[in-house]
Amino acid sequence: MKEGLIIRSTGSWYDVRLEGGEIIPCRMIGKFRLAGKKLTNPVAVGDRVLIELETGNDQEGETGIIKEIQDRKNYVIRQSPRKKHFLHILAANIDQALLIVTVVEPKLKQGFIDRFLLMTEPYDIPVHVVFNKGDVYTDEDLAVYQFLKEIYQSIGYHCYISSALENKGIQQLNKIIAGKTTLISGQSGVGKSSLLNRLHPDLELKTKDISQYTGKGQHTTTFAEMFDLGDDTFIIDSPGIKTLSFNHLEVQDVAHNFKEFFAASAQCKFQDCTHRNEPKCAVKDKIEEGLISELRYGNYLQIISEIEDQNYWERHSEY
């Protein structure tokens, strides 16, 4: 068997780069699960795998079968957008993530930032939040950016403003990704592909305008793919995300991964405090004192409400 790295996923086939640089299209046989959960993609870009070369296949060129997935140091996982009882791995074995957002075009859904961080926080994956399309921001938009920057930088997430059109922030972002494996993610239409083309012009990624009919972003990246930028610098470009749901999580999972809530919860009266109606809740006290963001708290309540509603209907669906 040969060891390799998954550099591209197309759904049923995976491109595996071997140690010598050769790329072998591979498929999987059998079912793989993660912590007992079903997966839409058993392996993801960034995984190290062992493959066995196939003989006598009808494909042009050499192909292989993925036989084993090596231990992961981390992964970023979400509820599948198409199969709600399945999970989908966005990427594995990353050093950090760049979350690309924008205040306008399309209009920012701030709750999306907190939902993305809920995927990375379990493994303490550093996240840099990049507010793109800064060239079209009005003074009001810039005030929104500064407001959000203060919230997220106060809890340990770095924030930046960028513009692919004006080449703004590109040098700084290149320094951030240098020598690391970075997941690049964001909602559809935030200018992710344009920004990546600025970071590394040789990528020549396809771009697409915002839909004039819906005002929403349109997908340009179809499958996750890793690009080698040289000098031990790798980026994983992932398809634009429209929504993020978490029916595979429990309420306490969410509470523990809103990092400032978890830090404050040591002073809560109840160990399993959900920070809603319980007495002597340190999180609610800190919100009243202005030490925890009311905006983040509102997003937290929305997420756990969705999880509880989903769990309720699943329990009662047989009746």
Each residue of 116-147: pLDDT tens digit? 999 999 999 999 999 999 999 999 999 999 99
Q: Residue 206: what pLDDT?
A: 63
Phi-psi region at 40: left, alpha or beta (left = phi > 0; alpha = psi -120 to 50): alpha
Please state whether the predicted TM-score (pTM) of the whole model is above 0.95. Answer: no
User: What pLDDT is stored for residue 201 in this prediction?
Assistant: 82
Where are any strands of DSSP class E within 10-61? Answer: 14-18, 23-28, 33-34, 37-39, 48-53
Nearest to 100 by CA among 8, 217, 246: 217
pLDDT digits (tens, 9 = 90+) for 73-121: 999 998 887 787 888 899 999 999 999 999 998 888 889 999 999 999 9
SS3 label, residue 44:
coil
Contact by Cβ (8 Å): 282, 264: yes
Q: Which residues are CB-neighbours of 13 under 8 A, at least 6 positions away? A: 25, 26, 27
Residue numbers in the chain where pLDDT is lower than 50: 209-221, 319
Beta bridge partners of 241: 187
Neighbours of 70 (CB within 10 A): 15
pLDDT of 22 reads 94
Q: How far apart are the first and last CA of the chain?
A: 50
The pLDDT of residue 319: 46
Domains and CATH numbers, the chain: 2-69 (2.40.50.140), 80-237 (3.40.50.300), 251-316 (1.10.40.50)
Pick from 109, 144, 147: nearest CA to 241: 109
Q: Is residue 132 within 8 Å of residue 195, measured between CB atoms?
A: yes
Show the tokens assigned to 211: 């839909």
Nearest to 191 by CA among 171, 167, 211, 210: 210
